Amino acid sequence: MKKELLMASALVSTLGAASVAEAVTATMSGSLKIGQEFDSPDSGTETNSTHDKANFSVSLSETTDGGTTISSSFMLENESGGVDDDNAIKLTFSDGSALELLNAGNASGTHDVSIPGAGGEQGVAGTTTANAPTGIDFGAGSTTFGVEWHSAADFMADGLKVSASYSGDNGSAATGTVAMDTSWGVGATYVTTAGDSTVTIGAGLAGSSIKQTGTQVTNAQNGFHVGVTAVTGDLTIGVGYGDGDTLVDDGASSALASTQVDGSVVKAGVKYVSGDITLNLGAVSGEGKDSSTVGTAGTTDDAWDEVNASIGYAVASGVSAVLGYTNVSISDEGASVTDGGSAWYVGATMSF
């Protein structure tokens, strides 16, 4: 009887232990950003508004007995307009390569080099029909049903990493508004040294197919970009270029309801850190020909020319203050319009 009780006790203990699910490893981070923006458009009324943005991010990961790390993340954000929290499930293998599943994005955009620019939340609020691009990876697009593969570090050469992606049809019905059907992308980042500088070069190429009823646009979303940054001590200098086609939802009730844009953009910036002070200076120059009729490419340039600057100060650990400024000039169909202007921002960020 005693042996039977001991066996029963052991069995219950084993079953109880097996029924408890182990928790994955979680790391948390977040920030609270509060500031005031003063917007002075070239036409219209000067306004000021308070920016109050809080976000809380959680990263989850666990490693299998075979050495594969499974990870994902989610974010809670409190700000006007909400946020599209597209996070993939990422598998990182023992050799350092990785595979993202669902919401994977486009590999071209993964290798978009970050060009220095002003901190803060200042932005010109003027409305315009001009459609010049402002980001160098504007030609990269994807659907939620996508996968992206990342190589391990030092792929075929020291300092080289590459990625490739593909996304498929999300199953929605074709309508008059242009929708993405499939997409693909490839990209690479190369890091090397030149004297006392660390140089990073990033490039990407993307393409897609679309689905649409009625008159077809002449080009789907596609393009390429290349950028380079050089870090020498406390000084960072960067420049990037993008070229391609994109589609903008213009809200029209026509059969197209999407404007086709053939554009290019140049971005450049400088960042300098001196003790607790960080200085940023940036410039953006974009141009694009947007379609004026269904299925017909545009012939006259829209333009977006921007300069921005900021000064940041580290008040305490995790706390920084920033003063930022942006000025924008806009042209629509080759003619200057009064939809640009300038904006100031003063605020602080608390991060953990």
HSE, CB side, 13 Å, CA atoms: give it for residue 119: 21
pLDDT attached to residue 150 = 96
- A 10 A CB-CB count for 227 gives 24
Contact by Cβ (8 Å): 300, 316: no
pLDDT attached to residue 193 = 94
pLDDT attached to residue 82 = 41
- Taking the whole predicted model, whether its pTM rises above 0.85 is answered as no
Give the CATH number of domain 31-351: 2.40.160.10
pLDDT attached to residue 253 = 43
Contact by Cβ (8 Å): 226, 111: no
Place of tokens 């004026």: 292
pLDDT attached to residue 232 = 96
pLDDT attached to residue 14 = 38
Torsion of CA 109, 110, 115, 121, to 10 degrees: 80
Please state whether 271 falls in left (phi above 0), alpha (psi between -120 and 50) or beta.
Answer: beta
Q: Each residue of 165-183: pLDDT tens digit?
A: 999 887 777 776 677 889 9
Residue 11: its H or E element: helix 2-18
Which residues of the chain register pLDDT less than 70? 1-22, 77-86, 125-128, 176-177, 215, 249-258, 292-298
The C-alpha atoms of residue 92 and residue 131 are separated, in whole angstroms, by 39
pLDDT attached to residue 2 = 44
Three-state secondary-structure class, residue 16:
helix
Contact by Cβ (8 Å): 233, 196: yes
The C-alpha atoms of residue 287 and residue 279 are separated, in whole angstroms, by 27
The domain segmentation of the chain, as residue ranges, is 31-351
pLDDT attached to residue 78 = 58
Q: Each residue of 66-90: pLDDT tens digit?
A: 889 988 887 776 554 444 455 778 8
